[in-house]
Amino acid sequence: MQRAEHVSRRLKLRQLEVLIAVGQSGNMAKAARQLAITQPVVSKTIADLEQTLGMRLFDRDRRGVALTPYGQALLKRSVAVFNDLQTGITELDLMADPTAGELRIGSSDAVASGMVGAIIDRLSQRHPRLIFEVTLGGGLTDLQHRELQSRGLDLIIGRLPVVVPDDLEANILYQEHTLLVTARQSHLVRGRRVRLSQLVDRPWCLPPLDSHPWNLIAEAFRGEGLDLPRQIVTTRSIQVLNSLIATGRYLSFLPGNVLHYCRENLSLKAWSTDVSIPTYPVGILTLKNRTINPATTLFIESAREIVKPLGKGLKQT
């Protein structure tokens, strides 16, 4: 603790800024141009920082510089410091106007195509000065988790993991249903209640094999004593899925939120089946023990309003 206090008194934000520039560019000359200072100033700043820490942060050769393990560790923390500082300044600005600012959202394609679009549409009408950035992934991926930790994202919305990481706060919105769908004008399915055994030999477009929805769907087939379909296309893309379903030849299982918010645009039709696929929780993840910005609070409040119909179940044929 004494060493940390001693070092923190001598460290300067400018030194960390130079460290980030050199570490990310791998070249002191490039870093100098980026920061609009001279290369000798960059070299001296890094040397002073290494002397303060008593550790070599860069290995140097004729080709440039490379981070040592110590440098890599400090670079990671330095980036987090500047992200937190930027977030703090933004939060101060937002206190004067909580309806303005930027909201960075992590989600999956399925959730973003349905529910997230509806939430953003409502918020942007109420607060036209808000700026939204949506980053797509496969739910709570390692990348999105790291982005949330480093403040690259303000929140993640989608299927909640079975075990929520200790550093995250989960806000459950509703329990998601998985529905059998075809094109609205498709003749693949007949009758008001469909047996899965009648469809196993048809072409299917389904989620990726390594996804949670795939596991649920595969279990539904096995539960009926059926083999998995042989004619399948797997994708995370709602656009690819829709283009295949629109041919009238493909069936799929989709999350209820896509059906609710995109049914008309995608010309989809949901069907009742003889199988019951377990629901799963959908919600919003934020960093625990961190003050969330006002725009995130507005998003969560709007999300709770938007998803109320989803909690009541969706109409099927």
Domain housing 159: 97-175+281-312
Domain match, 257 and 170 both: no
Domain boundary residue, one of 46, 63, 89 = 89
- In the chain, how many domains are there? 3
Return the pLDDT at 138: 64
Return the pLDDT at 239: 87
**CATH number of the domain within which 57 lies:** 1.10.10.10
The answer to whether residue 286 sits within a structural domain is: yes
Domain match, 192 and 242 both: yes
Domain match, 171 and 285 both: yes
Domain match, 152 and 288 both: yes
The answer to whether residue 16 sits within a structural domain is: yes
Domain match, 77 and 134 both: no
Return the pLDDT at 186: 77
Domain match, 183 and 122 both: no
Domain match, 170 and 185 both: no
Return the pLDDT at 194: 80
Domain match, 149 and 198 both: no
The answer to whether residue 317 sits within a structural domain is: no
Domain boundary residue, one of 89, 123, 144 = 89
The answer to whether residue 294 sits within a structural domain is: yes
Return the pLDDT at 4: 73
**CATH number of the domain within which 249 lies:** 3.40.190.10
What secondary structure does DSSP assign to the chain, as a single string? -HHHHHHHHH--HHHHHHHHHHHHHS-HHHHHHHHTS-HHHHHHHHHHHHHHHTS--EEEETTEEEE-HHHHHHHHHHHHHHHHHHHHHHHHHHHH-TT-EEEEEEEEHHHIIIIIHHHHHHHHHH-TTEEEEEEEESSS-HHHHHHHHTTS-SEEEEEPPSS--TTEEEEEEEEEPEEEEEETT--S--SSEE-GGGTTTS-EEE--TTSHHHHHHHHHHHHTT-PPPSSEEE-S-HHHHHHHHTTTS-BEEEEHHHHHHHHHHHTEEEEEES--PPPEEEEEEEETTSPPPHHHHHHHHHHHHHTGGGGG-----
Return the pLDDT at 231: 92
Each of the 317 residues of the chain gets a pLDDT tens digit; together they read: 577 777 778 888 999 999 999 999 999 999 999 999 999 999 999 999 999 999 999 998 888 899 999 999 999 999 999 988 888 887 777 666 767 778 999 998 888 888 899 999 999 999 888 999 999 876 666 677 888 888 889 999 999 988 888 889 999 999 999 989 888 887 877 766 788 888 899 999 999 888 888 999 999 999 989 999 999 999 988 889 888 988 989 999 988 888 888 766 777 888 888 788 899 999 999 998 887 888 899 999 999 999 888 766 555 54
Domain match, 29 and 102 both: no
Return the pLDDT at 10: 84
Domain match, 223 and 101 both: no
Domain match, 36 and 184 both: no
Domain match, 165 and 207 both: no
The answer to whether residue 158 sits within a structural domain is: yes
